[in-house]
A = this chain, B = another copy of it.
Amino acid sequence: MKRTLISTAIALISGLAIHAAVQAANDEPIQPIKPPANINLGMVELGKKLYFDPRLSKSGFISCNSCHNLSMGGTDNIPTSIGDKWQQGPINAPTVLNSSLNVAQFWDGRAADLKAQAGGPIANPGEMAFSHTLAINVLESIPGYVREFKQVFGKDKISIEEVTLAIAEFEKTLVTPNSRFDQWLLGKKDALTADELAGYKLFKESGCVACHNGEAVGGNSFQKMGVVEPYKTSATAGGRADVTGKDADRFNFKVPTLRNVEMTYPYFHDGAANTLTEAVDIMGRLQLGKKFTKDENAKVVAFLKTLTGDQPNFALPILPPSTDKTPRPTPFAK
């Protein structure tokens, strides 16, 4: 009886401690990333192949992974992307990491979800420069794909619906839990240094969290680029206004996630900021009317670097070979 009482007391105290830690995490404007749930693994394996398959492009050279490179934070680390025939893209490729947590996809949110996004670049003449029909023709000529689509979707015919569903399912797995910041949120109080914690305090007190909050530290709202001071850029993207047609939405862009931001340089929709130091300085001035000192800036940057989580960890997919019937890519066709 006494033992039971003591056990109950210990359980109660442990419970309270856990509750307190969880409560602490909940009180913060940023929440730890949860590993993905409710995942269809067969669809993920198929989507992973499609994500890496350059045969979904006209040239046979560009895959999803070309511009959203999973070796490099899910981006291409260049200001604006390279498309078919080396065309210069109009906007910086946003990271695919944690993109399942975004309120919508693309900088202007023109795709409601990952599935709607996935079909875009394939048929964009400035990107993969193919068409959905041509992509399906390629896939249907490859027995390895036909079998895998049948296994996963139970259908004999492949359509762009299944292609984008599979790519989206794979992308749902590309979350990056377990960053040092998340470890700290979950109760490991020595996971951050004093400078990193000071940077987080500045990040909250200066107002950065007003937009960069939640599980992805961003990605959940559209905000004007240049609130206090206008943002000067040669990029022509109009932002959210291009979708809504409303002038009030001009230069409103989806707030980018700050998860893995150490890896996703250069920054902003035009990729004009090469370093985090630059990005923090510009954001402070243009969005908050605040000039961070050199020391404050360094502390905020130190905090931002604690947001790098576990990167994707999977075997490089091997793609099923084309057959005699597979239409061949035309990289140099006029």
> Which of A69, A72, A85 lies at the interface centre, i.e. has the most chain B CB atoms within 10 A of its CB?
A72
Q: Which residues of B contact A77 (CB under 8 A)?
A: 55, 60, 322, 329
From 273 to 324 in chain A, residues with beta carbon under 8 angstroms from any chain B beta carbon are: 274-277, 311-319, 321-322, 324
A82 sits at the interface (CB 8 A): yes
- Take A78-B61, A316-B312, A318-B311 as given contacts and tell me if A88 and B277 are in contact as well, using a CB distance cutoff of 8 Å: no
Q: Which of B314, B321, B324, B331 contacts A316 (CB 8 A)?
A: B314
Find chain B residues with CB under 8 A from A86 CB.
Answer: 85-86, 331
Q: How far is the CA of A168 from the CA of B111 in the complex (A)?
A: 43
Measured as residues with beta carbon below 8 angstroms from the partner, the interface class of chain A is: 35 or more
Min CB distance, A33 to chain B, in Å?
A: 17
The residue in chain B whose Cβ has the minimal distance to the Cβ of A274 is B328
Task: Give bound CA distance, A316 to B329, whole Å.
Answer: 25
A residues within 8 Å of B by Cβ? Answer: 52-55, 59-61, 66, 69-73, 76-78, 82, 85-86, 88, 262-263, 265-266, 274-277, 311-319, 321-322, 324, 328-329, 331-332
Which 8 pairs from chain A and chain B are nearest by CB? A86-B86, A275-B324, A311-B318, A263-B321, A71-B319, A60-B78, A316-B316, A61-B82
